[in-house]
Chains A and B, each alone.
Chain A
């Protein structure tokens, strides 16, 4: 972790709560293990690496269970008396952390299942692939637990750097271009963020979020501007990760250039990691500036959902990769919805409800159904027009896809998608952001147009096979790879169960997530 946690006086050895840090740690250790193991495994056993990674992620998920009280913290600063100051820790495993770690690790698990046949079919280097995926997941799992700016930046980079490589791993021109685009824009954002962090440190004298929050109101007058600029620049960095406007243009090209499994991973895990960082910095660190960034984030949310939906509407269904491109634009729009409760948190609602819970709950719902939709795309791929007649050919896959799309649209029978939107709307109405709620309502309707158009295609009759040379499904394509089935089944079952018992996920919204 960071050296900042070491105390200035007294013993240089501090006790580490290994159990609290287990989820990211296990993931990281398995990542290294896979990388080393690849060297010694004979080629025919290479597919085992994938299952080892999945097992590692499952183990990391299990390690969340003993932490469920949400009271653990480690790497804490010392107070003057030498006791650990529980309010200024670098790593906190509260409910916010645990829920997001659950989402990130489960998302990575599904993405790993999705990757198995990609790794084989595209003959990607297995050791590298699994190592990169797990490293990125470890970073993403660390991020929600981090409570100081240095750890946050490190975690964000651990989550992003392997992702660039993952995008570029398919060694064709497209992958390279996509990776470069992703890399350059991301690095710029990181540089801007680091500048912001240094400004904030200069103005407040601390990197710990709680101490920054305490120091901001007391900052010297000549440093006030510096602190504000620093806060804005820091938030910009995280906004990039969530693909908020105007940092969204890399999304479609990157998603289409990357293997579908990686695109799925980026759209859920990377986005959620960025979002949790944004929420932490804004809500915990820059709390005194709530009104300012609340308004900024509200505008950002409105722009993000509107532009994302507008671009998705313009996406033609007959161009190559249109399915992934549409999901990419839709994920931009969904990021807009996810930002709404964070913006609402800036306004500090009068009720005891924490608006942030709505973001987390919506993120979980979005994660499940979006990964499910990507799983179907991984199965069929290609253009949206190729989905015509899917119901006749593969009823189960078509029904699952229809369910996922309707969940994303928020329309029954996708009940859980509907209630996800309801909690977001409630957060906005609760904190007086009525205008944002209306914009979001209009956006939800606009988005329905393309989701429903795709859903309707699933049930249309299949076009008559035009030419024998057309890429019609060869005999083997009718068999769905086992890991893919598993991923699809998990996502569908979770979605259906949540539709009948929304309380399972919505209970997050009823209390405060911190402490």
Chain B
């Protein structure tokens, strides 16, 4: 078992190193590029296989226990141990990571942004694999400093994915992404050091076992403030979210999918894995504030989306989904802030659901962008006489999938988005003992309002993108377009429907969204014992 976990982490790392070997993929750049992409798909596929094997071998009866553990001394001078393991909390996230990375690699076989100034596919493959290494390690390591290292590993590849393969305004967006995250994580490192030096160990399992014993209340508060800042930037929690919309708008499709699908989860995972068990006293004090910020995030995210979906707002669909992520991650944070098993389970479920659904949404929007050249809602609508982009009529399967993803995202019962948010609100109906119930009831009511708003803007998206008269001619643009600098008119007919490679990348996400929605016990049964153990058997 532990060999499989190590193999899982090493595969992408070695793969990334292999892409650096000069001349390996042949001399002809075009052929070498294709081979590199196939190599990437093969390695990520192997990683997916390894993670599936890991899941099959996982003892579901003891999901609270760390399994497939490796514990070796790495840097004795710092007390850093090479400590790996998976439990019911990290296993689903590992699977999500390998799945999404593999799907991205498959998708990129056909749809990699290219053009003048875009680097070779080989570099892309190398960065994707390095990114996967970082993401997987984040969920698999059990040492605070290793966790920090893994947290940082993802920055450079994601920076280059945005800065080199991104759309317009990519340079500033990428710089903003990395500076925000790094500022958070530098403070987080100080928190880790404070925690580790006061507790005498950097080992997460030992820290969880101790449940904050031996840490003064002040220390716990300081630890949570500093570590929480780093995690909150990553999650992102309002008001530290402002890097996210820019990064998503500029990132290439696969970058967006992995950013929303996995990178954001690293923040909330840190809350559950590190902060909840290591500093419970401090969490009890600060949880209401966390919940308040989370609820503000929910409302803020959905209001921003509502503003973007209005006609004439020039709302970019990618930016809209990015803001919706702020709202969805607000639910996750609210669940964590209840400090109850129900709420934390809901948070973890919502994590996975958001990864599946938003991954799918970003894939779909990327496909729209490929076809129309823009995902500006106004321009999409204008392409069909102003009533709507009429995707149902022109590309029925694409339109249907988009509508499916949208209703899954708004939390329709029976789909994955439903359970996580419901449980998070359940959790805040009965918050942990010692937390002010009336405050949490207000939070719950506001979060409920947030679900309504979410439904409002997502249905608005469906109406404006999917519906409309396919036969209507393109409306002449309302404003006079400058003759040379203006964007080219959007094609109004002859849209390609879902292609084979797209279907291959999207089907697993659709299926899993259904499975998680109809049979939530698969995930909850895994996470529940581990959550209870982390919360101290409450």
Contacts and interface: CB of A to CB of B under 8 A. Distances in A.
Q: What is the interface of chain B mostly: helix, strand, loop, or mixed?
A: helix
B76 A510 contact: yes
A284 interface: no
Of A411, A415, A459, A507, the most chain B CB neighbours within 10 A belong to A411
B186 A444 contact: yes
Interface string A408-426: 0001110100110011011
B1 interface: no
Interface stretch (A13-21, A238-246, A448-456): A448-456
Given A438-B187, A456-B163, A423 B156 contact: no
A458 B153 CA distance: 19
Nearest to A448: B182
A506 B75 contact: yes
Nearest to A503: B75
Interface stretch (B189-197, B238-246, B384-392): B189-197
Of B117, B182, B197, the most chain A CB neighbours within 10 A belong to B182
Contacts of A412: 134, 149, 152-153, 155-156
Of B134, B145, B193, the most chain A CB neighbours within 10 A belong to B193
B78 A426 contact: yes
Interface string B106-134: 00000000001101000100000010001
Interface string B436-452: 00000000000000000
B182 A429 contact: no
Contacts of B119: 459, 461
B178 interface: yes
A442 B78 contact: no
Interface string A285-314: 000000000000000000000000000000
Contacts of B156: 406, 411-413
B457 to A, nearest CB: 34
A426 B20 contact: no
Nearest to B182: A445
Interface string A180-205: 00000000000000000000000000
A267 interface: no
B197 A430 contact: yes
A429 B74 CA distance: 22
A459 B123 contact: yes
B148 to A, nearest CB: 8
Contacts of A399: 20
Contacts of B189: 422, 425, 441
A423 B187 contact: no
B222 to A, nearest CB: 8
A415 B197 contact: no
A320 interface: no
A423 B189 CA distance: 11
A429 B197 contact: yes
Interface in B133-165: 134, 145, 149, 152-153, 155-156, 159-160, 163-164
B187 A441 contact: yes
A398 to B, nearest CB: 11
Contacts of A434: 190
A509 interface: yes
A510 B73 CA distance: 15
A47 interface: no
Interface string A198-231: 0000000000000000000000000000000000
Contacts of A422: 78, 145, 189, 193
Given A395-B22, A413-B156, A449 B193 contact: no
A487 to B, nearest CB: 21
B183 interface: yes
A261 interface: no
A145 interface: no
A411 B75 contact: no
B527 to A, nearest CB: 29
B152 A442 contact: no
A445 B22 contact: no
A437 interface: yes
Contacts of A483: none
Contacts of A426: 78, 193, 197
Nearest to A437: B190
Given A441-B183, A456-B163, 8 more contacts: A412-B155, A423-B78, A429-B193, A437-B190, A437-B193, A444-B182, A503-B74, A506-B77
The 6 A-B pairs at the shortest CB distance, nearest first, are namely: A441-B186, A506-B77, A510-B77, A412-B153, A445-B183, A429-B193
22 contacts: A395-B22, A411-B182, A412-B134, A412-B152, A415-B149, A418-B149, A422-B193, A426-B197, A429-B193, A429-B197, A438-B190, A441-B183, A444-B182, A445-B183, A448-B178, A456-B159, A459-B119, A459-B160, A502-B75, A503-B77, A506-B78, A509-B78
Interface of A: 395, 399, 406, 411-413, 415, 418-419, 422-423, 425-426, 429-430, 434, 437-438, 441-442, 444-445, 448-449, 452-453, 456, 459-461, 502-503, 506-510
